[in-house]
Structure 1
Amino acid sequence: MEGITTFKSDYLPYDIVKRPFQVPEEYKPKTGEIELGTTYQKDYNVHKIQPVTLVRPLERKHTTGGKLDTIPTYQDDYRSWEVQRREPSKAEHIYHPPTEKFGNSTTFQDDFVPKELILRQSFKPRVAKLSDVPFDSATSHRSSYIVHQLQPKFIRAKEAYKPSNQPFEDLTTHRNDFKGLPGQLVKSCKPDNAKVGSNAHFNGVTEFQDRFQPWLVSLPELRKTKEYVPPPGNMDFNSTSHLDYVKHQIVPAVPIRPVSNGGRTSAPFQGNTTMKEDFKAWGTCRQEIIKNQQEIPKPTGKFYDLTTFKSDYLPHQIIPAQSFKPVHAIAPSSAPFQDETMYRTEYTPQKQEICPANYPSPPGYVYVNTDSGGHKFFRLLTPESFESHSNPIPKEVGVVS
């Protein structure tokens, strides 16, 4: 078998040319105003709408006195007619096989017209030419930056902690001011732990040990199982059914179904059944509610309004329970109330440091300039110039936090 296919023998390669690129036209908006009117707004005429009338048929009352007509409208009105068969309108196309080998051309070969491909214009930038000039590393920061000398940082001396000279009292206001209320001690309602029992010695004999007398029990007798002895001779596998059964000739059952007539009759269909002929409808009435007779007769006498609680209840005298709550007696004192606390006697106030940002011109700093963002810059004064400055730091300034 040759390894040449129709694709290898008939295929001719051709040069591939790129598709032409169509430049889209620039959108130019139309001048003037847009008319928003539609044909619906111009041609539509408004009509008055009347309420819709119901097409529902009137309610029919079914009567049971007449005879039921069982012939449907389909059997009464339908008349079958002869229908002739339609001839097919399909054009007769006889297939003729080609005489040549692979003589029929494909739709692609018939309809496809090869076109020349135009190369697209490349918008890719060209390779930049490298410069031979050495790189100048001068920046605006290097050229414009002026180095300023930093002044020594002003360090404020911390004040030493001075402890209080008075000794610390560990008494609280509760210990100093609270006085116990007079009252009796609470009595315990727990019963006395009295010893229950006698001093007689326990001899260790119980009722079970005294009355129960053990008796001898004999062991159960064991029965020996007999050894299995197989019967002599061979086993006969014939059963009574195999030996005594006699086969009989069985005739197949005849179906009792009636013979169906293949031909159709032209006689009209009789829709009468035994149910329709023998069953006669009768009028029905609603059954009354079945009520059981009351076994207990209703009382006829006068109601005395006397219950068993009123007739049999005996009132008893109520004895109030004894209260064990102590008497809430407060002994008034004529001594003046001491309102001194640990916070008042032992608290040492510390000096508050105020943030320099709270002042419009902070003391100890000199205004330098303001940048483009609105931020003000200040310079710290040295201790020598700080004393001779015209705006000294105030000792105490009221600040609302």
Structure 2
Amino acid sequence: MRSRCLCQICTCGRHHCPHGTTKIYENSGMSCHTTEYLEKYPAYGNVLPPQSLKPKQEFQAWHGKMEGVTTFKSDYRPYEIVKQPRHIPEEYKPKQGKIDLGTTYKRDFNSYKVQPVAIVRPLERKQVKKGKLDTVPTYKDDYRSWGIQKSELYKPEQAYHPPTVKFGNSTTFQDDYVPQEIRLRPSFKPSPVVTCSTIPFCSDTSHRLAYVPHQPEVRFAKPKEVYKPTDQPFEDLTTHRNDFQGLVGETVKICRPAYTRVTQNAQFEGSTEFRESFQPWEIPPPEVRKVPEYVPPAGSMELSSTSHLDYIPYQTSRVVPIRPVSLRRKNNLPFQGKSTMKEDFPVWESCRQGLIKQQQQIPNPSGKFDGLSTFRSHYVPHELIPTESCKPVNVALKRSVPFDDITMYSVEYTPKKQEICPASYPSPPGYIFENTNSQGHKFFRKITPTVKVS
């Protein structure tokens, strides 16, 4: 009987074996091969891969002399250039007979008699005016024509002669254009031939000819000034210490009231809307999960690792340093603790100056403090008006008609039997544990039912 892995026994798709290798298994470097592709598509036999028909790229060196003939020179054959014949248009010959001027419109359209349209506009009312009408307009009365003579044309008269052949007239381009012979332009490109000069190279430049060497002047060495320390002592008084002298006085007392700390056990006086609406109820304590007692595994633990078994210690010699030997001079003379800093800056005797306090400009109050603050003296208490709650009354609506609890889901739903995945059990029912491979897969063998022969 073929053994099956826990991944294959699972029907819900949520139970898998640990595919990675662990310390208790051997590290073979093989990956897991239990995939859906291998199950549906079995492997073929020993089929050799197809041979490549691509030619091998083997370089064959040519040891002979290279010819100066290219592929273009060897394959190109010059041919004689013949002038293309010019297309002569055929002579136009008009067609004989009469042109049929009949159209689809004339053939399909049936004419009908049209009566004159009656004029809808109102009749004009003739205004009869007494007196003679002056029919001379303002333009004719004011305008006076001038006697202008017609100017002569400067365009030369050309007698037009119609051509006897169709498109026989010449164009302006044909009349004005004069064909000229094409002459090749001389090339200004220098010749690629290298010309070697016979005259020796002249290394004289304008700098070598015009440069006159000058002797540099002696640099002036400025003597180093000797440091002379001052004899006057250092004044550490600032402008603030000199101008502002402090006054001796009493320290200012704190006028704030005593802070009474509210303890956590103090009960809040007064009732709120939350306390009245929501009464506390007893909460059952959470269930404590019982932790199973740890049972150590039987047998002794093998503490030998791969490094302990395979590692071979080697005896190595100490590496000799390659650095050079230090050539320090050993002086037995005592150390002189003198420096330029100690000689030029001697220690001064200094004494600590007393505290300088500023004179107090505001006199201290002489009377007793009343204990009234500005807020207490000016505060006017107002009566607190509670706001009305707009929340609807939480009262259950009662109906005499019973509730119709029939839905489409309860009518049409057919309950199905819930199947339990066999891989969810510690040992799948109907299977016996066989072994565990190097990748950590657990394989089980199916139990075959025994048939009693009577």
TM-score range with shorter-chain normalisation? under 0.3
TM-score using structure 1 length: 0.23
TM-score using structure 2 length: 0.21
The structure showing larger relative contact order (alpha-carbon pairs under 8 Å, at least 6 residues apart) is 2
